[in-house]
Amino acid sequence: MDTLGVVATALWAMLPAYVPNNAAVLAGGGRPIDGGRTMGDSRLLGDGKTWRGTATGTLAGTLAALVLDALSPAASGLVGHSLPGFPLTAGFGLALGAMLGDIGASFIKRRSGRERGAAFPGLDQLDFVVGALACAFVVAPAWFGATFTLPVLVVVVVATPILHVATNGIAYRLGLKNEPW
Ligand code: CTP
Ligand code: MG
């Protein structure tokens, strides 16, 4: 596969994992998942992880995969490369995994004494990638193996932090997010 094909495949395959966090920012609020519970001196997860944000994010990512499937023939023609399709399990796994990775990161942040919204460079940019890939691997192993070849994985790990910083910067400037990370 040529470089353009690898990059296009990586970004396309990860789109259902990129959508959930952004949807959660827009839809978040309401009851926190941890119900206000604490562990030691800190909240278990904090007020930034809500049921509504998590459910909306997962749904939005799953729907994104369905939309991508519909656009796939046209997009494949444009980049001159056959882009991956999404079995329902794969789209759902990527979306739910992205949310779970982000939730896991909040758990780690609270344990390390960081308040809600505090930055944790590296973790903030890759938590949802690790969650999405792990979850997709569990629920759709054959699809995962065929889609995420080593070169594709390398592009995902390098390109995602760049995209994450850019989109969160935009969300911050638009007043949608409280912090630019
Ligand atoms: N959000 C949510 N549910 C989630 C993830 C995010 O409701 N599972 C919403 C919250 O309103 C949150 C916002 O999206 O404040 C931004 O998400 P994020 O940056 O992940 O949360 P923070 O508020 O920064 O909290 P943390 O320090 O725990 O990451
Ligand atoms: Mg944050």
Q: Which string of DSSP letters, residue by residue, matches 32-90?
A: BTTTT-EETTEESS-TTSBHHHHHHHHHHHHHHHHHHHHHHHHHHHHHTS-PPP--HHH
The closest residue, in CA terms, to atom 23 on ligand 1 is 48
Q: Which residues line ligand 1 (CB under 6 A)?
A: 24-25, 28-29, 46, 48-50, 53-54, 99, 102-103, 106, 109, 116-118, 177
Over the stretch 62-106, which tens digit does the pLDDT of each residue have? 999 999 999 999 999 999 999 999 999 999 999 999 999 999 999
User: CB neighbours (10 Å) of residue 29?
Assistant: 13
Over the stretch 154-177, which tens digit does the pLDDT of each residue have? 999 999 999 999 999 999 999 999
Measured distance CA(135)–CA(100) in Å, rounded: 9
In angstroms, what is the span from residue 157 Cα to ligand 1's centroid? Answer: 22
What are the sequence ranges of the domains in the chain? 3-173
Mutation to probe ligand 1, out of 19, 22, 25 (largest number of atoms < 8 A from CB) = 25
For the question of whether the overall pTM of this predicted structure is more than 0.85, the answer is yes
**9, 83 in Cβ contact below 8 A?**
yes
In angstroms, what is the span from residue 123 Cα to ligand 1's centroid? Answer: 14
- Is 1's pLDDT higher than 90? no
Of all residues in the chain, the percent with pLDDT exceeding 90 is 97
Mean pLDDT of 147-155: 98
In angstroms, what is the span from residue 117 Cα to ligand 2's centroid? Answer: 4
- Is 112's pLDDT higher than 90? yes
| Ligand approaching nearest to the C-alpha of 21 | 1
| Ligand approaching nearest to the C-alpha of 22 | 1
Name the pLDDT band for 60 (thresholds 50, 70, 90). very high
| Ligand approaching nearest to the C-alpha of 20 | 1
Instruction: Provide the pLDDT for residue 28.
Output: 84
